[in-house]
Chains A and B, each alone.
Chain A
């Protein structure tokens, strides 16, 4: 008996050991698949972010030209200041400084105007308009080089490219080189990108309008979605009896959370624009649509925060004679607040990055300034990204990546805030 079982034991060992190598190889392979999958996912993240930074960081470098311009009384009519060609005056000045004579047709000066931003002329116009006394004096203006010139400085436009395949000819490249060498052009941080709004000229386009638009829209979204969502979640979690109606509401909310965002855009178009006549493209409208979209997420997050508050706290409060409403408002909700706020911030961050529904409600229009109030036309950061991505000028591609970097900074700040909040208040009981 002992003998047979001993040999049985040995057979078992033999059998198991025979397949051991294969099985361990399978194990190693399986593990490797997992590692490879994670590696793939993380390298996508690295490539995505890395690519955006490499494409976008140059947005934050600006090449600006500083030039003193003599406001020739012969060329500016004090009665019609706007009629004067300040661009040409600047171009002539630059030519003079480069020691180049223009021909009668102004070929050279118009080529100079091609590499300088019309913002310079505009500034000059504003200055002279503000004080006509400047006519006959010398005024110094500083403004960006036109986008193509900047691309040359940044190495995006190369001399090695055949001349007829690039936007700037050899003469213009030579001028650009000399302007830089003589110190007329200097490089610096492109604060204009953060302080200007959209423009048809890439070198003058900035994200300020979009930042303000996004902020206003998120304000509307937060003011609507957070209180309504928190109250709805509180009701469903703390007050409502479990019955068919609350079941319906619950299923409804869970499904709403998974409805494609573009459908909310259609809702906004049909109901808010066509039926309620909320002004198109406005932060109010965008905020309304995104609030409806964010509502289910806020509700779900709040409910789970409320669920995490131990029942003992409710029992204790009810035990000392507080009413149900008092218990919830004075004890349960304050304890759940960090969780609620975390959920709210995260859903606002999500709303900040949302684009598709805004396209439906007319937010794709070109808005060259900050929105005039909540009912004025506005653009928002992600839509600005979309608009610029569509633009044909190469210089806008860099700005698109730059705008994405700004957008991501906002999102990271919001996510960090949520994480800190979660860490700070995690489980107090």
Chain B
């Protein structure tokens, strides 16, 4: 029933390399089960979109990858999530290291109430990646440039990050995430709080970042999934219904529910 296909259109052909391999994931919030036996492969250096109606467990799946579910009391995760072949839930894996390797961007931009500079420098500082001021400056500049924000904030790095516009804040948060050079970036509806122009900028950014990172993005917009992703996975009521190359899913879904969802019949 679960169809896997790793080829996709798009400029850079994703390699065969699988970055994240999830097998038989069940997640329980207390007594309530949110994910049922989900297995999914996420390829390296490409964008994978998770789509599905609200409450179907997309965010929950995302949070399994960087173990953010651990921070919610009463949550239980079963199954294996492998990052480069290592089980992230293994006791030898420290969530601190895991989360340094797997960055995350949230639905609502959440810059810390600090300066723009300090926001971006946050990760490098706590992880001890940059020890000197010039090193840190370089990282901040590089990250902001890569997030496409540098030109807009270069002259006001010492102003609070919360003073930026919504779209700028979201790019700041992305810059913050990539400042530690993670291997994977998880994005949970990164554009849902933004206007179309800001959304377009973020989409461009995602497209650029794809060359270097493995990106998993949750989105409610079919068009966005079609635009930015190479692989798409459709979730429904806690189950993974179908996954495959984005082109295939949108033009030729195998499952009736996928068909219904992408044509807007429910969701």
Note whether A and B contact each other (Cβ less than 8 A).
yes
Q: Pick from B95-103, B186-194, B217-225, B232-240 the stretch touching chain A.
A: B95-103
Q: Which residues of B contact A23 (CB under 8 A)?
A: 96, 126
Determine whether the beta carbon of B183 is less than 8 Å from that of A9. yes
Minimum Cβ distance to chain A for residue B44 (Å): 8
In whole angstroms, what is the CA distance A20 to B96 when docked? 8
Determine whether the beta carbon of A19 is less than 8 Å from that of B183. no
Is A16 engaged at the interface, CB distance under 8 Å to the other chain? Answer: yes
Determine whether the beta carbon of A12 is less than 8 Å from that of B212. no
Is A161 engaged at the interface, CB distance under 8 Å to the other chain? Answer: no
Determine whether the beta carbon of B181 is less than 8 Å from that of A16. no
Closest residue of B by beta carbon distance from A12: B181
Q: Which residues of A contact B183 (CB under 8 A)?
A: 5, 9
Determine whether the beta carbon of B101 is less than 8 Å from that of A18. no
Q: Which residues of A contact B128 (CB under 8 A)?
A: 15-16, 18-19
- Map CB proximity to A onto B109-138 as digits: 1 under 8 Å, 0 otherwise: 000000000000000001111000000000
Q: Which residues of A contact B208 (CB under 8 A)?
A: none
Closest residue of A by beta carbon distance from B94: A20
In whole angstroms, what is the CA distance A23 to B15 when docked? 36
Closest residue of B by beta carbon distance from A17: B97
Minimum Cβ distance to chain B for residue A18 (Å): 7
Is B180 engaged at the interface, CB distance under 8 Å to the other chain? Answer: yes
Q: Which residues of B contact A9 (CB under 8 A)?
A: 101, 181, 183
In whole angstroms, what is the CA distance A403 to B96 when docked? 55
- Map CB proximity to A onto B172-205 as digits: 1 under 8 Å, 0 otherwise: 0000000011110000000000000000000000
Is A42 engaged at the interface, CB distance under 8 Å to the other chain? Answer: no
Determine whether the beta carbon of B97 is less than 8 Å from that of A16. yes
- Map CB proximity to B onto A10-48 as digits: 1 under 8 Å, 0 otherwise: 001101111110011000000000000000000000000
Closest residue of A by beta carbon distance from B15: A2
Is A412 engaged at the interface, CB distance under 8 Å to the other chain? Answer: no
Is A249 engaged at the interface, CB distance under 8 Å to the other chain? Answer: no
> For the complex, would chain B's binding face be called helix, strand, loop or mixed by DSSP majority?
loop
**Which B residues between 128 and 185 are near A, CB-CB below 8 angstroms?**
128-129, 180-183
Minimum Cβ distance to chain B for residue A5 (Å): 7
In whole angstroms, what is the CA distance A24 to B129 when docked? 17
Is A8 engaged at the interface, CB distance under 8 Å to the other chain? Answer: yes
Known: A5-B212, A18-B128, A19-B127. A12 touches B94 (CB 8 A): no
**Which B residues between 57 and 97 are near A, CB-CB below 8 angstroms?**
94, 96-97
In whole angstroms, what is the CA distance A206 to B15 when docked? 89
Q: Which residues of A contact B101 (CB under 8 A)?
A: 9, 12-13
Q: Which residues of B contact A5 (CB under 8 A)?
A: 183, 212
In whole angstroms, what is the CA distance A23 to B182 when docked? 19
In whole angstroms, what is the CA distance A9 to B15 when docked? 18
In whole angstroms, what is the CA distance A332 to B101 when docked? 54
Determine whether the beta carbon of B96 is less than 8 Å from that of A16. yes
Closest residue of A by beta carbon distance from B183: A9
Q: Which residues of B contact A24 (CB under 8 A)?
A: 96
Q: Which residues of A contact B180 (CB under 8 A)?
A: 12
Closest residue of B by beta carbon distance from A13: B97
Determine whether the beta carbon of B212 is less than 8 Å from that of A15. no
Minimum Cβ distance to chain A for residue B23 (Å): 22
Known: A8-B181, A9-B183. A16 touches B100 (CB 8 A): yes
Other contacts beyond A8-B181, A9-B183, A13-B97: 11, CB < 8 A:
A5-B183, A9-B101, A9-B181, A12-B101, A12-B180, A15-B129, A16-B129, A18-B128, A19-B128, A20-B96, A24-B96
Chain A residues proximal to chain B, CB less than 8 Å: 2, 5, 8-9, 12-13, 15-20, 23-24
A-B contact pairs, 21 of them (CB 8 A): A2-B15, A5-B212, A8-B181, A12-B100, A12-B127, A12-B129, A12-B181, A13-B100, A13-B101, A15-B127, A15-B128, A15-B129, A16-B96, A16-B100, A19-B127, A19-B128, A20-B94, A20-B96, A20-B97, A23-B96, A23-B126
4 nearest interchain CB pairs? A19-B128, A16-B100, A16-B127, A16-B97
